[in-house]
Every structure is written in structure tokens, then in C-alpha cells.
Structure 1
Amino acid sequence: MRIVIVEDSSSNLAVLCRMVGHINTSLQNDHVECVGFTDPLKAIDYLQESACDLVITDYLMPSVTGLELIQMLRGMPAHQHVPVVIVTADADRARRMEAIRAGATDFLTKPVDPIELRLRVANLLELRRAQNVIARHADDLAEQVRIATQHLARREEEVVFRLARAIELRDGDTGGHVDRVAESSRIIAETMGLDSGFCRTLALASPLHDVGKIGVPDAILNKPGRLDDAERSVMQKHTTIGAEILAHADSDLVQMAAAIANSHHERWDGTGYPHRVAGANIPLAARITSVADVFDALISERCYKKAWSLEEARAEILRGAGTQFDPTCVAAFEKSWDKIVALMARDYASSNKSAA
């Protein structure tokens, strides 16, 4: 264990170092390393770079007092709880109270009694060892909690992913639509400068935008051709069905997925469905997903339409800014166009390779 001693008198410093240099604590025979300084400013520089287990400092020193040294020491994260002993010839109670308020742990009165010094130092080193054990235990618990939380997050992600896959297959699409919507949504959100937590949750939640299609009859869901008005009315219910499936969740991810499922067909101008809300009243996650979903739907072949080219779909998204889509989301889509194109190229290349 390491003890730092600060004493402006070199002879007194040598005596103090000699007194404590061979102390063995009662729990373990730890080697005690003594590092001494006659200049408190050099001691402060040293402590900013190196850890220690105990500080012994003189009270009256010419450049920095022991009280000031303690205050600076307590401002260092690594030394906020390190025991500090003040050595002073002054027994004034007010001065001692001032030192305690600054963070002093114990006092020794000059001239220092060697036996008392060794006993107090040994006790304080045992205190420091106990602090270190508790700190390591806390770190171990924090790591266990981190691993468990990470495990739960992965399980949540897996459930969401598999549910999204099931919906995709029922919708007759095996071309990775939900993966591309997830990644496109994340790219748009990142370009908008949204925080990493939101972007991650969005990428996981957006694939569930069409979960409500579970409640749409196959004859309508996979009809080769345009839907009539009655069929379209049934199809549009997939938004509210999806919201009901995902409602009342404790998970932030599922709450966002519910908002997306309910609102990804709302329009910026208020003419969308199911609730005809407009502008910023549409949840941001749904506004972003709407751009990604429509774009990918346009460039994908469906039983009722041919695939559009990337440029045709891009132009359609840009035309919809301010009417169908949030202009800010469209601007982010346009700004991140190169990333979107790279994503599509990579995904379709991977799909073709898998098919081969």
C-alpha cells in the first residue's frame, strides 16, 4: 500500500517516512511504500497522476497549507475517500474543525509519538483496504448488472426481430424489407442529429410497423391488384390493430413500436390514417419510419406493382415533403442519400447471393 507524506522540513519528512515505512497491517502483510515530498505542489502533481492509500500532511507549509492540500485532494475523483492525517503543533479546536470540514480523517500532534503514529496509520490502512474491497465489490456488481441488462436487451431484440420476420413472411415479402426499413430509419435519425439511444431503439422498433397485418385477411393482404374501397378500409385497420397488439408495454422499445405501428401512415398535412393527425403531432419515430417504409416499398416489387428505380423513388419522396412527409425527415433522407444507396446495393447484393 502507498502512503504519501508531505512535510516541508526534509529532516521531519525523513523521520516520518522511517516511522511508517515498515508498518504491516493486521489483515495482510502488505508492503508499505512511502513517497515523501517537501514541496506540496509537487505532491499535488504526483497525486493527480498516481493513486495512494493514505496521505499524511503537515498543516503549516509556506506555499500550500495542509488544509488547501486536502481541498485539492478531495477534488480528485481517485482521492475523494483516501484517508488524510493532518500533523500540527496547534491544538486549537476551531482549526481542527475547519480541517475536518475540508476532509481530514485524523490528526497527529507534534512532536509525533512513533507508537501512536504507527497505530493510527495501521488503522487507517485497514480502513482503506475495506474501502477498496467494497469498491471492487460494487464494481463487480455493476458489471454483473451490465451483463444481465445486455442479455435482456439481446433477448428483447431477438423477440422483436423474429416477430418482424413473421409479419414480413405473411405479407409475402422475403426480400428483407423490414431490415432495410430499420437501417434506413436509423440512418435518417442519425443524420437528423438524434441521440444514439433513440437511433438504436428506432432501428429495433421500426421493423414492427406492419405488425397489425396479422389481423388483415390473406385475400386482401396478398391480392394481386388494386384494393377496392371496402378492402382498403380493412387494410388500413392494420395500424390500429398493430397499436393494440403493442399497447401498454413497459419496454421503451415496444412503446416506440406501438407509436410507429399506429402512426406510420399518417401524413404531414393531416390527410393520412387512422387518426388524421398532422405535423409534429405525429410521433417523430413514425415520421422517420414513414419515409423509410414508403421509399423501400416503392423500390420493391409487389404482387400488385413493379419495382421503381432508386431515382424514381427518391424523386417521389422529395415531392412528398411538406404534404405526405415531415420536411425535416425528407431533408435528412436527401442528405444521407449516398448511405441509403449503399445500403440498398449491399442488401440486394446479399439477397441475390443468398438466392443463388
Structure 2
Amino acid sequence: MPLQLVLALRPLGCDTPVLPAAQWPDLPARAADLLIVDGDGLDGAALLRAIRAHPAHGHIPVLLVASGEARALRRVAVEAGATDVLVRPVDPLDLQIRARTLIDLTRARLAADKTASLMDRHVAGIRAESESREREIIQRLMLAAEFRDDQAGDHLTRVAGCAIAIAEGLGLSEAAANDIALASTMHDIGKIGIPDSILLKAGPLTDGEREEMKRHAERGYRMLHDSPSRLLQLASEIALTHHERWDGTGYPRGLCSADIPLCGRIIAVADVFDALISERVYKAAWPLEKARAYLVEHRGSHFDPACVDAFLSRWDDIVGLMRDRPAGAGLA
């Protein structure tokens, strides 16, 4: 239990000005359980306001003992910050009862604050543990994608790096950029359900195979969207919308412009760029400058213009990322 401290502030005299609370010699630096103020001979309201301005005493109960007309005194005192008022003449027993009640109030508040602090730490611990588990789940899903396609790991890493560059170029916070990047690593998770004969085909796809390949967007969304995890919900949105186009000609739902979630618009730029510069069995890798020119050419048709501009604003970072994680022999 806290120390039961009752501090009585006595009048300084009618002609003595009320000093700011921080300058009052009688106010302790640490909080008290109760302040009893003898307000006679002072501007009681000014004294109460000075006490409330003191950082250690903003929420401590203050009992004002003063002379005057009871109703007017109480109104002025409470408006100035008093918790309770005793009007002279004072019954000593009444003073004792009031003081004990107010001290109990302080102790209850302190106990509540302590409980709230413990709960905050507990909740923070649970949140940190939950986020750690979410990240582990995402990493394991990335491994699942790599088992199907041994080129997937580097592709996902490069897309995530581009996503951070675009998000930061758009002015998103570091935390938001990191969330989009992490969630982006599952943008093609729906391809787990595509047969190897289509997914790993060494050559152009037939119309039917292409339609089957397109289904990965909806499949990825269905795999992730009903999770309570904030990151997995973000990942489901990316999986569903990263093949939508700014002009509405994309799939699976034909969304256009701002109807496409920002995360999907960001990953559309990052994913296409990396696909262009990556070597595949059916195509050679494009040089970086050629892939950059493609983004500029399709700015406002395939891609959100703001996302392309953000990407270009971080071009030096993109070049560094691609040199650290080369996608193919065609890099320039």
C-alpha cells in the first residue's frame, strides 16, 4: 500500500500572491495520497488551480476547508479542481471520515493504474508473440511456394524489396511498407493448386491453361482471407488484386483505378517489373532500363501512375536491390 500522506497547505496571508504550483515550497515532488487545503485568507480558486498545474498532483484528491456560503463555495471550489469541500465550522469526525474516503479513492486509483499497466504489458506481450507466429506462418508458406518452383524464393524477395521502395516513395510509414512487403511474399500462394504441367510448362500456355493459371488469384484469396491475422488479411487482398489493372482490363474482377486496393496496385508494379527482368524457360531476361521503360509506357493503363512515379523516384535503390539479388543474365 502507498504511504498515507496528508499534506495541509496553510494560508500565506491575504496579501501574499499565489505562486505557480512548481514554486510552492510546501508541495512535495512526489505525489501525496491527499491534499487538504486551508483556503481561508487566500484566493482559494487560484490556489486549487496552482495545485492542479503541478505535474505530481494533477489527479490527487484535494479537500478544501474554508469559510463562506456553502453552495457558492462548493461551486467555485469544484470548478477550480477541488475533489471535496468542507465549510467551516468543521466537525473533526467529519474531517476524518472525508479524509479516509479520499485516501481510499487515491489507493483505488493507484491499484487500478497498476492493474492497467500490467494488463498493457501482458497485451503487448501477447501481440508480439502473435505477430511472431504470423511471420513464421508467412515464412513457411513462402517455403511451400519454393517447393513448387525453385525460382520463387528470389522472386518473392525482390518483389518485397520493390514493394518497400514503392510504399516509401508514396509516403507510407516504415511499418506500413514493411507489412505490405511481408504480405506480398504470398501474392502467388494460390499457384500451389496449379498442376505442374501448367506451372512449369516450358513454353506458351494454351488458352485453357492460361485461364487455369489466372485462377491462382482467387485461390490465394480464399486460402487467406478468413484468417483473423491482420497480415494474412492484407496478404489475401494482395493475392486477389495484384493482377488487376488501372484501366480495368485485369483479372479476376476487372477492378479499375482507386477501386483496386493500394497494396494490390503496389505489388502489380513490383511483380511485373521482376517478371520482366527474370529469365524464364520461355523468355530471356529484360535489361533493367527496358523493364523501366515498360512501366513508364503502361503508366495509367496497366499501372497506377502514382505507384510508377514512386517506383522511379527510388530507382537507385531498385538497381541496388537487383544487383544484390540478380534475376538473370539479362540485367543491365
TM-score tier (shorter): 0.7 to 0.9
> In structure 1, what is the Cα distance between the partners aligned to 2:24 and 2:180?
47
Corresponding position: 1:55 with 2:35: yes
1:57–1:85 Cα contact (<8 Å) kept: yes
Residue 245 of structure 1 corresponds to 223
Residue 12 of structure 2 corresponds to 9
Structure 1 gap ranges (5+): 13-37, 350-356
Q: 1:269 to 1:46 in 2, by over 3 A?
A: farther
List per-residue Cα deviations over 1:105-125 (Å, max 9, x = no partner): 233556878887677556644
Q: Deviation at 1:160?
A: 1.8
Q: Deviation at 1:103?
A: 3.7
TM normalised by structure 1 equals: 0.77
Partner letter of residue 84 of structure 2? D
> In structure 2, what is the Cα distance between the partners aligned to 1:135 and 1:318?
56
TM normalised by structure 2 equals: 0.82
**SS of equivalent to 2:85:** strand
CA RMSD of aligned residues (A): 3.4
Once the two structures are superposed, the pairs formed by residues 101-112 of structure 1 within 5 Å of their partners are: 101-109=79-87
**SS of equivalent to 2:136:** helix
Corresponding position: 1:314 with 2:292: yes
Q: Deviation at 1:238?
A: 1.2
Residue 259 of structure 2 corresponds to 281
Residue 139 of structure 1 corresponds to 117
> In structure 1, what is the Cα distance between the partners aligned to 2:263 and 2:152?
24
1:168–1:177 Cα contact (<8 Å) kept: no
> In structure 2, what is the Cα distance between the partners aligned to 1:59 and 1:229?
90
Report which stretch shifted further, 247-256 or 44-53.
44-53
Q: Deviation at 1:141?
A: 1.0
> In structure 1, what is the Cα distance between the partners aligned to 2:49 and 2:280?
71
Once the two structures are superposed, the pairs formed by residues 24-43 of structure 1 within 5 Å of their partners are: 40-43=18-21
1:7–1:61 Cα contact (<8 Å) kept: no
Percent identity reads 44
Q: 1:124 to 1:276 in 2, by over 3 A?
A: closer
Residue 323 of structure 1 corresponds to 301
Structure 2 gap ranges (5+): 328-332
Q: 1:73 to 1:43 in 2, by over 3 A?
A: closer
List per-residue Cα deviations over 1:68-121 (Å, max 9, x = no partner): 444565577864431112131225223214423544223355687888767755
List per-residue Cα deviations over 1:252-306 (Å, max 9, x = no partner): 3223222211221111122222222221122211110111111222223333333
Corresponding position: 1:159 with 2:137: yes
> In structure 2, what is the Cα distance between the partners aligned to 1:227 and 1:49?
81
Partner letter of residue 9 of structure 1? L
> In structure 1, what is the Cα distance between the partners aligned to 2:146 and 2:41?
76
Corresponding position: 1:215 with 2:193: yes
Work out the number of aligned pairs and report it: 321
> In structure 1, what is the Cα distance between the partners aligned to 2:40 and 2:245?
74
Report which stretch shifted further, 115-124 or 241-250.
115-124
